[in-house]
Chain A
């Protein structure tokens, strides 16, 4: 069985936030809402300091706490490992937002404009039609499941063919993001994980993230 996963190469990432913006563009996310972010910190003491940059997104956890916590069954785990939310089933209780230790879920509580007080731009207007977000529900990164599903239907391979690959992955100018099947030991991601001894973010939470990092 397929299990989609991502590997982010921290040696390559240049802290550019393109992934954050590409995701917003792909999914017409309203202002202030993010399905992924880039975190910046540093370790060490001057002059032996290292700047630390971590792009983070929903880990599509194998043992997803959010699925367990969701009372309405709106959040489910697909057979391919993607944790998905059915917007028509979500009651908006936000318990999933609370329980996700990675804080990767956001509540859609507004239809704000990107240019406050100046109305919706044409881009936002068509976005409301093409990719509506229901207010009063929770959303999060869905590994671009629409791209994957549509791509597979067209015979494309996610992680290899760009049209079937998540938007944040293809926009990365340094190719720091890799996407593929974790269940396949020969996939690009599995090999990277093997070769470069990848780590997950906070494995101690026991959620078995499908997003890995290599340094």
Chain B
């Protein structure tokens, strides 16, 4: 800290007795970047990115990260346990908080939990969010799941806003990349087609922003398909506006041109790294070997069907019809190729509004950029070089047709052979051979029985386990057992929830909710419907750092958590599904979190609070067992039984387990992180392994049939056609609204300044948001506003085709599809406890409705598009 010169300053010079920079981690989003915190006289005065760390932007710090100090010192933070004294619950109801002691709070919670556990633990719901990192999973969710489960059942885990999230994307990533998240190879990629995301242009994960910017600078071409000229589009070489929800059609149009008009595809890759060569019979199923039950392929040289991994195969056929065991069959590739023909650019143009010319031109550019056949030598290893990739996350695929969208989009990669090779699409951290010496953390991609990508290694969280899809079962207390290809099933705030539960014959009674790190009424669609459910729950505990819509409206007890600058943990050592840059030059990099200041007031670190709670419930041994087991601590590092856990001691054990005795907690506190180079085999794992992706979804036939059978028995109807082995574009619910009054498609999006909804409360972010024309306003295309006789600044009412309304001020932009209306997604707070956030912007969720019948039947992604009309009001 440098002090300013000047008389006044001289007089004011204060004595500085504390002036340090502490390496730790930001936890405001999943990126968990390495940061340096500057503390002067006991006050955190500045945060900067850690320039030495690969996790982040190498020294930069995003606006959310910077605002972390204002979060730390916000006078509106929760500072003591609170108890609701107003028995009434609901949106906008004053909870009439009363301060209680930690003992009182924990005793009451322990008592309640014990009671429900004795009855039926499945009446406990554990609701989490995304905000404060992944520690939510191991230190809250997994621990409580383990501790509270009994023979009678186990608690219900719910991600509050999760069905809003890119679940369809996570599904495709799991199926074809063994990953949670995928990204282009920023180092070598030359052409990216980006579908409705600002991922590397203001989205989270600073490293992606940094690497994408470098790629653009080096000349990587970026084409953005988005209804709005968003930030990505403004950085792109070309912005292609399209009607929301039609991405699959455009992708299939591109595929048709690439494969059928241009005849470009990576036959080598399709043969060896996908199931394109698998023989498919007339029923759509693979032909399988009688004895091994493995799928068959056709060996050209021997003119004979062989098991797909038969070493004697010299060349896989992709083109001919065959007869095997008396059955007519063709390689899956033939089905796909023929299927693409349905999507002529002209037809696609009608659906999406993207011109046939544009589709033909971009298809050609993209296919040529893939340089099918080219190779590159890295570290002495010759690898295929396919410098093309795609990018999508949430908005484009969170529709009733979401999984089919991602399926179609992803084929653009596989047809050109661009998965997990230099230049192409990369999995984030699925192949990690660990720290030299310990081999930890360890992750690897392994083949399943049919040769498809699957994951191995002992550090995987259940969230990665979308593939292989397990067979559906009759639902017991959650539909997740039925819809097994979904990461979760958004039942708990659905408008047609009662109907669904009745049909599914599920008892919906929840007696206790433990809510952690999520604003579970504000972020789900629709708050009103979620509120109706929450009102039926007799006891709700929330652990948060702020008063918010959820706890003010519904919590009985609120516990004040410490924020990330006030606690210490090893989350960075375990979390790697988002934040390890999937670029060869970027080393593996694992951080720890350490407190910069002591927790202020009565705040306590939630992870330890949970341990304390379980201690009070007499389950401490279980906790110790949990840590020993979940962390797979080797014998010498196991926590001793019968002793209270000392937090930093546990941290030390985890550190030493992974990185050796010389890298204990004290070492980490000083250095902040550990780093070592990535290997080519880790980064570009695919060429090194005999593992395949699925361009033809044979599994969908049976999976769909099974899900449908149980569902129909229960009277649940969804769009079953979507369980199809070949990708298609399906219109989603808003496309089918015919009333001409509702003439606009409304959707929301995120800003670089905001993460989740909790950034709305930091004054700096608020000031920056006010500088952005669109953050706090409802935006229309300039042309549409003019046609409707509306002007910027007009106060308007937006009404959905279901009668839900929101109000706000109008702004206009020329760079927006004329048939759309947009709202920044995480604004419109009403909680009294967040005075900065309150009343700013528009709450998009109030416009939506979550209806299971309109969700994506495969991933259960929400339909986030709403058909609306609007009018000017006073």
Contacts and interface: CB of A to CB of B under 8 A. Distances in A.
A205 interface: no
Interface in B37-78: 40-41, 43-49, 51, 56-57, 59-63, 66-67, 69-70, 72-76
B624 interface: no
Interface in B749-776: 752-753, 763-765, 767-768, 771-773
B45 A146 contact: no
Contacts of B765: 21
A51 B3 contact: no
Contacts of A162: 51, 59
B202 A130 contact: no
B231 interface: yes
A171 B66 CA distance: 9
Chain B interface size band reads 35 or more
Contacts of A53: 231, 234
Interface string A147-182: 101100000000000100000001111111000000
B815 A9 contact: no
Interface string B823-837: 000000000000110
B81 interface: no
Nearest to B358: A47
A47 B70 CA distance: 40
Contact of A21 (B67, B72, B241): B67
A150 B66 contact: no
A148 to B, nearest CB: 10
Contacts of B764: 20-21, 24-25, 114
A26 interface: yes
Contact of A146 (B2, B56, B813, B814): B2
A44 B43 contact: no
A87 B5 CA distance: 9
A197 interface: no
A65 to B, nearest CB: 24
A106 interface: no
A173 B45 contact: no
B752 to A, nearest CB: 4
B818 A46 contact: yes
Interface string A15-36: 1111011101110000110100
Given A15-B202, A123-B69, A25 B14 contact: no
Contacts of B781: 46
A52 B815 CA distance: 11
Select the residue from A17, A52, A118, A176 with max chain B CB neighbours within 10 A.
Answer: A17
A136 to B, nearest CB: 11
Interface string B263-289: 000000000000000000000000000
Nearest to A170: B59
B234 A171 contact: no
Contacts of A86: 6
B73 A123 contact: yes
A114 B95 CA distance: 26
A11 B216 contact: yes
Given A46-B781, A123-B69, A126-B41, A51 B234 contact: yes
A49 interface: yes
Contacts of A72: none
A88 B59 CA distance: 34
B329 interface: no
A101 interface: no
A114 B2 CA distance: 23
B60 A132 contact: no
Contacts of B752: 14-17
Given A17-B768, A47-B241, A12 B9 contact: no
Interface string A134-154: 100000000000110110000
A26 B45 CA distance: 8
B250 to A, nearest CB: 15
Contacts of A99: none
Contacts of A122: 43, 73
Contact of B202 (A16, A42, A45, A119): A16
Contacts of B212: 174
Given A21-B67, A170-B60, A11 B2 contact: no
A14 B231 contact: yes
Given A25-B45, A126-B43, 14 more contacts: A16-B753, A17-B772, A26-B46, A32-B767, A38-B768, A42-B815, A49-B229, A86-B6, A88-B8, A115-B836, A132-B4, A132-B6, A162-B51, A176-B213
13 contacts: A11-B216, A14-B198, A34-B767, A38-B768, A40-B773, A42-B814, A46-B814, A87-B6, A115-B74, A123-B73, A149-B2, A171-B49, A173-B210
Return the 10 tightest CB-CB contacts between A and B, nearest first.
A51-B234, A173-B57, A17-B768, A173-B60, A174-B213, A49-B815, A16-B752, A146-B2, A121-B73, A14-B202
